Amino acid sequence: MSTCSVSKGCFVFKPSPKKRKLSQKTANYFGERNNASEDTDLRFVTCQSLWNQIKSETEQIQEDLNKQLFDNLVSFLRRSHSEFQEKTTKWTCRMKSREIPTAALVLGVNVTDHDLTFRSLSEVLQNNITPYIALLEAKDCPGIKNLIQKLMGQLMNCYIDVDSLEDEDHVQVSQNRIRCSMTSIISWYQNVTKKTDSETRSKKRTSSSRHWQSPPVVVIFKDMESFTTKVLQDFIVISSQHIRELPLVLIFGIATSPMIIHSLLPHSVSSLLCIELFQSLSCKEHLSTIIDKLLLTAQFPFKLGEKVLQVLINIFLYHDFSVQNFIKGFQLCIVEHFYSQPLSVLCCPLVDAKKRVNSLSRDQCENIRRLPSFRRYVENQVSEKQILLLTADNFLKEITQKLLEDLHVYHENYVSVLRCLHVFTSSLPKYPLGKQIRELHCACLENQVWQTEEYESFLQLARMLNKSDLVTMLEQCVEIFVSSSGKEFDKIVEKLKEFLTQFQELEVAEAFQERDGSVSAQKELQKKTDLYHLQKTLLELKESRRSRKLTKFEMLRFEVVEYIDSLVRAHLVPADHKTLHEIVYFNTASVLRGHLNAAPRVALHTSLNNPYCYLKNQALKNDGGNISNKAPDICIVYKLHLECGRLINLVDWLEAFSTVVTAVEGPNADATSSDQRLDFVAGVLAAWKELNCRILNQHQQKQRHYSSHIFQWNYCQKSDLKVS
């Protein structure tokens, strides 16, 4: 594992999958902090199984989402070299210049997700089209030579993998390693196809029947943007000369826009390509699906609190657009929850949870009693029951079971009602409660949604809906409730259906009535030709319309909105109003933020300002602003410099430093030997050097001053840069 370059970045080393022994260790970590009575092992196991479930679910989702794209690509690849397969000698084929079939695959800017997509893509291609696939990355190919080398390595290795190792091939490979050029690739290809050809003829067609006799060679450029123009051009020019012998297909992985092809390749080169565009699903839609399938479902017992979800979504929308990172964050939440919350043993499917409640230990019962939501619950009970709850473990367990069941039911209802509400809000103008269901979800989790202004405006808008919209929405709601598994929905469905039939009845009656009314009004208008009278009648009409009784439709609409409102009030109670929500909800956003939002400059500042924070040395623990002389030199120097303004005088700085360092020895250490003095100067110099190369800039004009241009944000605040 090498990072290949000295660059400013964080490198993440994923552990290799072979270290499976690790799980035992992690189990130990789980128990490290808490005592053994809190079911650490069980928690760990639950956590693992839950995560595995979620992981397989996400993989499934990913597969489904990519299916369309991959199908298109596969059919493109099948089509692309059909001429090569048929070996036609028609006039058009003879005369037309052979272009290299190229798929421009636009994947979006979330580069971190691309790896996974390419891996599954190459898997799909391997299963359907061809065993010869090469994945190229820009950092491996600074020159055309490296590119061809890499290409040959991958192609020939994959060949060896497909057929079992043969000595002959080894010889061939080692020989080819010396000469890496297109000709050797071609000769290799001819060898390989000839061999499989004869094999299929002699033996029965088994594995290779999936592929054609001469399967195309697919070269995937993972990050098109980073490739240098020259390398790409050369490669395309070379391979276009051999396209008749080597059926090559290129796939360009593009992160930004397909325009990049035109800016990278001149017309003389791009005219050698036959480019088709393929677009993957946008990452925002991807995220919505993930949230829909992972969070807005009663399938998984684990839930995210509002703040945590907000943190994760913010990182996604504001920073990286990476679905992988979102899932990683979600995983972190799960682990953190099971690690820090002893009661998370109960965060499992309801049936198991009930069993586990029975076997809870004393300590765990105490833990339940300590939960704030449970205390609130106890306070609302009658006094005898309160005593029982606080003293009798068995009674507590019984109640806990009941409460857990309540919580489960609440979740089931919550999801359906939320979707139903989303049907209404998403079609209103200006989207009062957010366009996406995740925004609505966050709003509902945050506090009682019906108390917000947005909800008010939603109700007002909903009361102005026209009939056809209302009917379709109601139909959608019925569908949602019918398809969901909740138990209490029969009544709701019945009620909604009743509304629908009422609307239908209205249709007939109202149409008749309306025609009648309008006709009479018009008649009156026609009768009076006088301007004055006309004005008068118009005013009257207006007046009557204002004070008119609501029509039947309006009454009904009002009723529907009222009903939806009542549903929302009943079922979309924020989770933290529910008893025992701490068991399934992870809500410590600060921890998550600390883990995911690394702030290097802040960390640097803290470490220099308060070394105790990282060194954990008791001697460094100081309170208030005084500077301890035990601190490392660099911290002292830094703090002294902070006390001054923008510029600091060199002599003052040295003086101050010496006072701080010699503070404890004080008056009795006046006889400092010259050696110590040298040490001291060396210390200061070293500290300077450290600070200099990291943060300080030497001021050019005044050589004896060091300016504090360090953290630019600091400087920014000082000079009050704000939006004008």
Partner 1 sequence: MPNLEHPAYPADTLLHLESLMPCRESQVSMLLSIFGERQQFSFPSIFIYGHTSSGKTYVMQTLLNTLQLPHVFVNCVEYFTSRLLLEEILIQLQSCSSETEQTSHVPCDNFNDFVRLFKQAVVSRKLQDQTLYIVLDRAEQLREMEANILPAFLRLQELTDRNVTVVLLSEIVWELFRPNTGCFEPLTLYFPDYSIGHLQKILSQNHPPEYSADFYAAYINILLGVFYMVCRDLKELQHLAVLNFSKYCEPVVRGEANERDTRKLWKNIEPHLKKAMQTVYLREISSSQWERLQHDDGEPGQLKGLSAHTHVELPYYSKFLLIAAYLASYNPVRTDKRFFLKHHGKIRKTNFLKKHEKQTICYRVGAKNRTEGITKERTVNEGNSNKCNVTKINGQKTSNHLLGPKPFPLDRLLAILYSIVDNRVAPTANIFSQITSLVTLQLLSVVGHNDQLDGPRYKCTVSLDFIRAIARTVNFDIIKYLYDFL
Considering only residues 675-714, where is the footprint of partner 1 by CB under 8 A? 693-694, 709, 711-713
| Shortest reach from residue 430's CB to partner 1, in Å | 16
| Shortest reach from residue 247's CB to partner 1, in Å | 14
Of 198, 58, 84, 74, give the one whose Cα is nearest residue 125: 74
User: CB of 103 within 8 A of CB of 274?
Assistant: no
Q: Which residues in 286-315 contact partner 1 (CB under 8 A)?
A: 315
Give SS3 for 164. coil
Name the residue nearer to partner 1 (CB basis): 241 or 544. 241
CA angle (626, 629, 634) in 5-degree steps: 95
User: CB of 454 within 8 A of CB of 476?
Assistant: no
| Shortest reach from residue 400's CB to partner 1, in Å | 40
Asked if 715 is part of the footprint of partner 1 (rule: CB under 8 A), the reply reads yes
Of 14, 41, 47, give the one whose Cα is nearest residue 28: 41
User: CB of 250 within 8 A of CB of 221?
Assistant: yes
Rg (CA), the chain: 36
Asked if 9 is part of the footprint of partner 1 (rule: CB under 8 A), the reply reads yes
Name the residue nearer to partner 1 (CB basis): 252 or 499. 252
Q: Which residues contact 208 (CB under 8 A, 6 or more apart)?
A: 196, 199, 200
Residue whose tokens read 């084929």: 93
| Shortest reach from residue 73's CB to partner 1, in Å | 14
Which one of residues 22, 36, 171, 237 is an interface residue with partner 1 (CB under 8 A)? 237
Q: Which residues contact 163 (CB under 8 A, 6 or more apart)?
A: 169
* 266: Cα separation from own chain's centroid: 37
Question: C-alpha dihedral over 184, 187, 189, 192, to 10 degrees?
Answer: -120
Q: Where are the alpha helices (DSSP H) in 350-392?
A: 350-358, 362-370, 372-379, 383-391
Give SS3 for 101. strand
| Shortest reach from residue 107's CB to partner 1, in Å | 11
Q: How many CB atoms lie within 10 A of CB 645?
A: 10
Which one of residues 539, 602, 647, 685 is an interface residue with partner 1 (CB under 8 A)? 602
3-state SS, 169-238, equals HHHHHHHHHHCCCHHHHHHHHHHHHHHHHHHHHHCCCCCHHHCCCCCCEEEEECCHHHCCHHHHHHHHHH
Which one of residues 77, 104, 220, 357 is an interface residue with partner 1 (CB under 8 A)? 104
Name the residue nearer to partner 1 (CB basis): 227 or 339. 227
* Per-residue mark of binding to partner 1, 107-136 (x: CB under 8 A): -xx-x-------------------------
Asked if 257 is part of the footprint of partner 1 (rule: CB under 8 A), the reply reads yes
| Shortest reach from residue 65's CB to partner 1, in Å | 17
Which one of residues 238, 365, 388, 620 is an interface residue with partner 1 (CB under 8 A)? 238
Q: Which residues in 641-660 contact partner 1 (CB under 8 A)?
A: none
Asked if 259 is part of the footprint of partner 1 (rule: CB under 8 A), the reply reads yes
Which one of residues 277, 511, 519, 682 is an interface residue with partner 1 (CB under 8 A)? 277
Asked if 279 is part of the footprint of partner 1 (rule: CB under 8 A), the reply reads yes
| Shortest reach from residue 99's CB to partner 1, in Å | 6
Sheet holding 248-254, edge to edge: 133-136, 217-221, 248-254, 100-106, 273-279
Name the residue nearer to partner 1 (CB basis): 309 or 315. 315
Asked if 256 is part of the footprint of partner 1 (rule: CB under 8 A), the reply reads yes
User: CB of 308 within 8 A of CB of 592?
Assistant: yes
First and final CA of the chain: distance in angstroms?
48
Hey, what are 155's tokens? Answer: 């192609």
| Shortest reach from residue 311's CB to partner 1, in Å | 12
Judged by CB under 8 A, the stretch of 179-187, 199-207, 352-360, 381-389 that binds partner 1 is 179-187
Which one of residues 23, 198, 504, 597 is an interface residue with partner 1 (CB under 8 A)? 597
Q: Which residues in 466-485 contact partner 1 (CB under 8 A)?
A: none
| Shortest reach from residue 711's CB to partner 1, in Å | 8
User: CB of 357 within 8 A of CB of 325?
Assistant: no
Give the Å distances, CA to CA, from 305 to 269, 295, 462, 584, 589. Answer: 54, 10, 29, 9, 8
Name the residue nearer to partner 1 (CB basis): 95 or 382. 95
Q: Which residues in 485-524 contact partner 1 (CB under 8 A)?
A: none
Q: Which residues in 346-385 contact partner 1 (CB under 8 A)?
A: none
Long-range Cβ pairs for the range 485-493 (8 Å, 24+)? 485/298, 485/412, 486/409, 486/412, 486/413, 486/416, 487/409, 487/412, 488/409, 488/413, 489/413, 489/416, 492/567
| Shortest reach from residue 93's CB to partner 1, in Å | 9
| Shortest reach from residue 177's CB to partner 1, in Å | 12
Name the residue nearer to partner 1 (CB basis): 97 or 501. 97
* Amino acid sitting at position 240: S
Of 404, 389, 396, give the one whose Cα is nearest residue 354: 404
Q: Which residues contact 548 (CB under 8 A, 6 or more apart)?
A: none
Judged by CB under 8 A, the stretch of 208-216, 223-231, 302-310, 388-396 that binds partner 1 is 223-231
Residue ranges of E strands in 562-664: 585-586, 647-649
Hey, what are 225's tokens? Answer: 């943007």
Of 584, 589, 575, 580, give the one whose Cα is nearest residue 415: 575
Q: Is the dihedral of CA 623, 625, 630, 633 positive or negative?
A: positive
* Amino acid sitting at position 679: D
Name the residue nearer to partner 1 (CB basis): 76 or 395. 76
Name the residue nearer to partner 1 (CB basis): 152 or 399. 152
Q: Which residues in 38-97 contact partner 1 (CB under 8 A)?
A: 79-80, 91-92, 95-97
Backbone phi, then psi, for 266, in 5-degree steps?
A: -70, 165
Asked if 3 is part of the footprint of partner 1 (rule: CB under 8 A), the reply reads no
Asked if 19 is part of the footprint of partner 1 (rule: CB under 8 A), the reply reads no
Residue whose tokens read 């040298």: 678
Name the residue nearer to partner 1 (CB basis): 550 or 721. 721
Name the residue nearer to partner 1 (CB basis): 618 or 712. 712
Asked if 270 is part of the footprint of partner 1 (rule: CB under 8 A), the reply reads yes
| Shortest reach from residue 133's CB to partner 1, in Å | 22
| Shortest reach from residue 182's CB to partner 1, in Å | 6
Which one of residues 320, 352, 446, 690 is an interface residue with partner 1 (CB under 8 A)? 320
Asked if 284 is part of the footprint of partner 1 (rule: CB under 8 A), the reply reads yes
| Shortest reach from residue 538's CB to partner 1, in Å | 43
Name the residue nearer to partner 1 (CB basis): 178 or 671. 178
Which one of residues 598, 663, 669, 682 is an interface residue with partner 1 (CB under 8 A)? 598
Count of residues engaged in binding partner 1, rule: CB under 8 A: 84
Which one of residues 41, 57, 225, 292 is an interface residue with partner 1 (CB under 8 A)? 225
Which one of residues 42, 158, 173, 275 is an interface residue with partner 1 (CB under 8 A)? 275
10 Å CB burial of residue 99 (0-12, 13-18, 19+) is middle
Name the residue nearer to partner 1 (CB basis): 138 or 521. 138
Q: Which residues in 137-176 contact partner 1 (CB under 8 A)?
A: 144-145, 175
Judged by CB under 8 A, the stretch of 385-393, 558-566, 569-577, 716-724 that binds partner 1 is 716-724
| Shortest reach from residue 652's CB to partner 1, in Å | 26
Asked if 183 is part of the footprint of partner 1 (rule: CB under 8 A), the reply reads yes
| Shortest reach from residue 269's CB to partner 1, in Å | 10
| Shortest reach from residue 685's CB to partner 1, in Å | 19
